Structure 1
Amino acid sequence: MEITDLTPAERRVWQAFSVGRGVDFTDSGDGGAEAGASWGPERTVRASVIRALLIGGPVGDGEIAGLKLTGARITGRLDLGYGSIDHPVRLRSCHFEQVPHLYGAQIRALVLSDSVLPGLSAATLRVDGVLRITGCRVTGPVRLQGAKVTGAFFLDGAHLGSPAGASAPPPPTAAADGPAGEPVLQLNHAEIGTDVWAVGLVAHGQVRLDGATVGGRVNLEGAELRAAGGTALQAESLTVGTDLNALRLCAHGRIVLSGARIPRHLNLAHARLSRPDGEALSADSCVVGELWLRDTAPITGTVDLRRSQVEFLHALPDVWPERVRIDGLSYRTLAPHLPAEQRLPLLERETEGYLPHSYEQLTSAYRVAGDDAAARTVQLTKLRRHRGTLIWYARWWGHLQDAAVGYGFRPVRAAGWLLLLLLTGTTAFTLCAPRPLKRGEAPDFHPLVYTLDLLLPFVGFGQENAFTPRGAWQWLAYLLIVTGWILATTVLAGITRALSRQ
């Protein structure tokens, strides 16, 4: 391209490129890049001119060339597909008429901050530095599948996609560039060297990070993801080096983190998750260091945490929805520390019904915290729920064990029953003493000892075999004998169960 073919605005850009000097077309009160469609030729640069500069533009002796352009209207399609660009590219506050095509390109650094684009096609892009779309307004999909960025990817404050019912439709070229319903951000299988910085991101559509690898953290603090009825964040098998920070995240749609690996914090504190007609949070088979749901609004929709491993889980009972899936969920520490009665209702919301593992896991957490009383309460509740799954005679035996000694977790009850029966028998046989079997050979009768002899099946005091009651008192004796055997059996069962837990 000859310099004589350039407009005055393009000539400024061409001359500045060779020495790496910036060109700024902005004017106070111009309305920003959103008003770029109305900018005249004094601020217009053809995409073909930019392409010619980046591929074979002049370089001044001893200078570091680079494209630094601010506040320009870029017409035509910027096509750098498979190109190798040795210069940094900075196109700030620019208005793109067509979707830039950077498929397979290799670039030193790419900055598009505060620009307006109908989309970005940059799958398998290679950036030797940072990729920045901070504050951009992108109506179409941002395609970065398989991209590799050695530095960080910044999209803080960006607005992706168009809200439903928006009055201004995207340009025809943008609409034809991808199918309807396509994710607005596609980072699946991308590799980001350090961080994905998306503080304050607003996305009208799905954000996809399936299989992505991030060397540092993913920061979605204060982000707003809107995909009502659909999936707002699809991050299956995501791997991050440190944290996924979603503090104050507002998600209208499903959050999918299945199989994610987050070694430190998954922070959903103060977040709002909503998908009334289905799953709001799907985080099954995850490995997470700490899961924070502190001060999170009550989740609207189902939560799936099956088979996930969490070292530390911070959540109040009221954060959980009416239906959860927690079979196989394991955690070591549960905070804040609350009575077992406040944690147990969650286990009854399991969609699969009674699952013993959930009770064992909660018991283990209380034992780690040193609260043995709460651990026993959880185990007693587990046995009561298990009883409802048994056949009728097993349920009857369970009720008996529960009433007698609380399945071994309430041993004081045995002493209470024994004392009640002992008082009953002593009073009855004091009023009507049984007759001796052999006169002259029987020992002196003692109502208290005689009652103990009937109640305790493994201990003999010589009273039971020496005396026999008459009439209705004989039936009382039978009742004491049977009750004694039942009480002894349930106590032994409880002791055996307690020893097996140790």
Structure 2
Amino acid sequence: MTVDGLDTAGFNEAELALAAGFVRGEPVRTDGAEVRGSVIARVLCRPGAETGAWPRPVLRLIGARITGELDLSFVEVAHPLILEDCDVEQTPGFYWSRLNFVSFRNSRLPGLLAANATIDGHLRLLGARIDGEVNLKGAKITGGLLLNRAHLTVPGGMALDAERAEIGGDILAGSGFRMSGAMRLFQATIAGGVLMDGAVVEGGGEGSRYGVIAADSVEIRGGFSMRGAAVAGEISLRHGRIGGAVTLSGATLDNPDGVALRLDRAEVNAGVNLHDGCVITGETRMVSAQVGRTLRLRGGTFRNPGGFALLADGLALDGNLDGQELVAEGEVSIIEGRVTGPIKFEGASMSNPGGRSLRTTGIVAGSIMNCCDGFTATGRVSVTSAKVGSTLCFDGATLLGTPVALRVVRTEAGTLRMSFAEPPAGLVELRHTRIGLLRDARASWPAALDLDGVTYQTMEPLLPAAQRLEWLARAPGLPPQPYEQLAAHYRQAGDDAAARRVLHARQQRQRASGSWPSRAWGWLQDITVGYGYRPQRAAGWLAALLALGTIAFSLRPPVPITSPGPHFNALIYTLDLLLPVVSFGQETAFEPRGGQQWLAYVLIIAGWTLATTAAAGFTRAMSRS
């Protein structure tokens, strides 16, 4: 017996119906009847099955129990193969075959072997239940790989292996897709996107040693989307090239003992979105990644206590970094990063007690960097060797790190704003930082400051020198530069008196740390001329000594040495004793005796002391002007 040239000897009723339906392109419903895999292969490959015939031959089998081996390896099949709601007992073999459209929708399979196969159309596994590996290594699928509602179950093993596969459309694995096992897309090329919104994926075991979704060196011309997905294990897109965006908004990634998301050296053209309730437990890595448009972390939660919550060293971001209201448990590190747009951490909470909460060593920010308006850090915030194109802002921030709360060292910024929500718990370092405008608030000054080497063009608010000296007094050690910088600020503002007061206070503070001879000499300079910054003190001392000598010598004039001699003048005689260089002829013409002699010695010594301290102080003052 033949059907359109096909020998059907030995076919059962369902198989005969299948052969007839194939010729007419009609679906065949079997209600659970047995159909042998070898019969399916014979029907598809029968001689004379022309591709241009009408109606076009299609093998469409619904509700069958497929027994035996369905092996189409090394075979070229020009007709669609559609097996829906079927129970396939053995793994279909399509190794190195060339097939047309293939569908196992809502079917149950023990696995699928299609390594190096070519499928001219979709591979449709919608709603399928597959309890073994789907092997698509090196496969070429001109359409999409459709996995919505499918369940792939290989606990601890490889559930889907598409290494070096070429997919001409999308990989659709959302809408109820569940996978227990690993998915491997190493060096795969996907012309569309990988869309796994709402998927549930869990791995573990040997099959997931490179990640439960291992897509290293993948090329995805569309996007990679797992909105609202739940993943237990690592997602790795290391060295990947993604033409669209990587989006995990609202997703839950859980890999507490390792890396949860790995984007090291990946190129993502349209942004990375880990926002709107995305919760990642484990390390999130973006080392040397290149990201376009935006890195969106707003409202995300990143948990890796004691380790890196986010490691993005070497990140090149051509756009914005939006980290507003993120929650990080562990260190956020962006060493040597490049961000062309603004960096926003307003309202973010970063917790890493005893360590660094935020580290941005060497970062270059083309715009603002905001750690303000509710920003909270329980570890050290470190902005070192950084360049911020506009404003570095900590207004309204709560910094709880100890012993160091904030390090802004060797950094350049147009404006530095430090009106904290409350005084920082630890030291605030601003060493060797260059700032255009420094703006702070007295109410939130930290208890300890390190200002050595900091330079600023102006400061707001313009407080009285006494208050700013209180600010400087919070700095440990005795570096002179912060005082000189503050004095320069007052001079630029036209307040020379405040500048002199600041420099005078610098000398007083330095005196306290010297040896006792230097402290004595410094004290003498201070009370006489205020280290050269209080010249009126010298005039006061001179006037007082002059009055003392004039009165004393008027009451009891000294004895003339020669007779006749010049007329005695008590005022001029006192001046002659006080001024060590100038001579008016009185000192050499008269000789004091008794107590007056001792007074003369005191006036001579006082004159020399006053002259010496005045010269030293004025020289210092002029050299600092």
Q: Does TM, normalized by the shorter one, top 0.5?
A: yes
The structure 2 residue matched to 1:84, chosen from 184, 204, 219, is 219
**1:308 is aligned to 2:433:** yes
Residues paired across the two proteins, number: 455
- Which residue matches 1:110? 246
Deviations 1:46-89 (A, max 9, x none): 4999988x9678x9xxxxx5555644434553332211111223
Distance 1:428 1:376 in 2: 36
- Which residue matches 1:437? 561
1:184: Cα distance to partner?
1.4
Q: Do the aligned residues in 1 keep the contact of 2:364 with 2:387 (CA within 8 Å)?
A: yes
The structure 1 residue matched to 2:505, chosen from 381, 402, 405, is 381
Distance 1:501 1:79 in 2: 65
Q: Do the aligned residues in 2 keep the contact of 1:244 with 1:265 (CA within 8 Å)?
A: yes
**1:333 is aligned to 2:433:** no
SS class of match (2:400)? strand
In terms of fraction of residues, the more strand-rich structure is: 2
The structure 2 residue matched to 1:73, chosen from 200, 203, 222, is 200
**1:231 is aligned to 2:356:** yes
1:49–1:417 CA distance, 2 compared to 1 (3 A): closer
**1:200 is aligned to 2:325:** yes
1:223–1:481 CA distance, 2 compared to 1 (3 A): same
The structure 2 residue matched to 1:360, chosen from 471, 479, 484, is 484
SS class of match (1:484)? helix
1:487: Cα distance to partner?
1.6
Distance 1:297 1:7 in 2: 63
Distance 1:7 1:453 in 2: 120
Q: Which has the higher contact order (CA 8 A, sep 6+)?
A: 1
Q: Do the aligned residues in 1 keep the contact of 2:268 with 2:290 (CA within 8 Å)?
A: yes
* Higher CA-based Rg: 2
**1:343 is aligned to 2:465:** no
1:392: Cα distance to partner?
3.2
The structure 2 residue matched to 1:428, chosen from 539, 549, 552, is 552
- Which residue matches 1:174? none
Distance 1:343 1:7 in 2: 78
SS class of match (1:428)? helix
**1:395 is aligned to 2:519:** yes
SS class of match (1:151)? strand
Distance 1:6 1:228 in 2: 51
1:191–1:4 CA distance, 2 compared to 1 (3 A): same
Distance 1:194 1:47 in 2: 37
Distance 1:7 1:467 in 2: 130
Distance 1:158 1:356 in 2: 45
SS class of match (1:306)? coil
Matches within 5 A, 1:481-500: 481-500=604-623
Residue identity opposite 1:115 in structure 2: A
**1:149 is aligned to 2:295:** no
Distance 1:42 1:458 in 2: 101
User: Which 4+ runs in 1 deviate beyond 6 A?
Assistant: 7-10, 47-52
The structure 2 residue matched to 1:98, chosen from 233, 237, 246, is 233
**1:275 is aligned to 2:401:** yes
Q: Do the aligned residues in 2 keep the contact of 1:48 with 1:78 (CA within 8 Å)?
A: no
Matches within 5 A, 1:440-451: 441-451=564-574
Please, which moves more after superposition, 242-251 or 379-388? 379-388
Distance 2:283 2:472 in 1: 41
**1:254 is aligned to 2:404:** no
Q: Do the aligned residues in 1 keep the contact of 2:357 with 2:377 (CA within 8 Å)?
A: yes
1:200: Cα distance to partner?
0.7
1:470: Cα distance to partner?
2.4
In terms of fraction of residues, the more helix-rich structure is: 1
RMSD: 3.2
Deviations 1:141-180 (A, max 9, x none): 2121121112211110101116x7xxxxxxxxxxxxxxxx
1:220: Cα distance to partner?
0.6
The structure 1 residue matched to 2:409, chosen from 264, 284, 292, is 284
Q: Do the aligned residues in 2 keep the contact of 1:10 with 1:49 (CA within 8 Å)?
A: no
Please, which moves more after superposition, 491-500 or 122-131? 491-500
Residue identity opposite 1:104 in structure 2: H
- Which residue matches 1:466? 589
SS class of match (2:384)? coil
SS class of match (1:401)? helix
Q: Do the aligned residues in 1 keep the contact of 2:175 with 2:198 (CA within 8 Å)?
A: no
Distance 1:494 1:438 in 2: 40
Structure 2 gaps of 5+ residues are 1-93, 95-101, 109-123, 129-141, 150-173, 204-211, 255-259
Distance 2:392 2:411 in 1: 11
1:357–1:112 CA distance, 2 compared to 1 (3 A): same
1:48–1:107 CA distance, 2 compared to 1 (3 A): farther
Distance 2:486 2:107 in 1: 72
Q: Do the aligned residues in 2 keep the contact of 1:232 with 1:253 (CA within 8 Å)?
A: yes
1:413: Cα distance to partner?
0.9
Q: Do the aligned residues in 2 keep the contact of 1:44 with 1:75 (CA within 8 Å)?
A: no
**1:158 is aligned to 2:300:** yes
- Which residue matches 2:176? 43
The structure 2 residue matched to 1:139, chosen from 281, 284, 296, is 281
SS class of match (2:611)? helix
1:12: Cα distance to partner?
8.3
1:415: Cα distance to partner?
1.5
Q: Do the aligned residues in 2 keep the contact of 1:254 with 1:279 (CA within 8 Å)?
A: yes
TM-score (norm 2): 0.67
Deviations 1:200-235 (A, max 9, x none): 111111111112211212111110001111211122
1:93: Cα distance to partner?
2.1
1:42–1:474 CA distance, 2 compared to 1 (3 A): closer
- Which residue matches 1:266? 392
1:313: Cα distance to partner?
1.5
SS class of match (1:417)? helix
1:287–1:154 CA distance, 2 compared to 1 (3 A): same
SS class of match (1:476)? helix
1:271: Cα distance to partner?
0.5
TM-score (norm 1): 0.82
SS class of match (2:616)? helix
- Which residue matches 1:121? 262
1:331–1:478 CA distance, 2 compared to 1 (3 A): same
1:296–1:471 CA distance, 2 compared to 1 (3 A): same
1:499: Cα distance to partner?
3.1
Distance 1:499 1:419 in 2: 24
Distance 1:420 1:100 in 2: 85
Distance 1:315 1:354 in 2: 22
Deviations 1:321-354 (A, max 9, x none): 3433332222222222112222224444444x22
The structure 1 residue matched to 2:342, chosen from 217, 234, 258, is 217
Distance 2:107 2:538 in 1: 99
SS class of match (1:195)? strand
Structure 1 gaps of 5+ residues are 25-40, 60-64, 165-180
1:326–1:420 CA distance, 2 compared to 1 (3 A): same
Q: Do the aligned residues in 2 keep the contact of 1:239 with 1:261 (CA within 8 Å)?
A: yes
Distance 2:539 2:247 in 1: 78
SS class of match (1:152)? strand
Q: What fraction of aligned residue pairs are identical, expressed as a percent?
A: 35
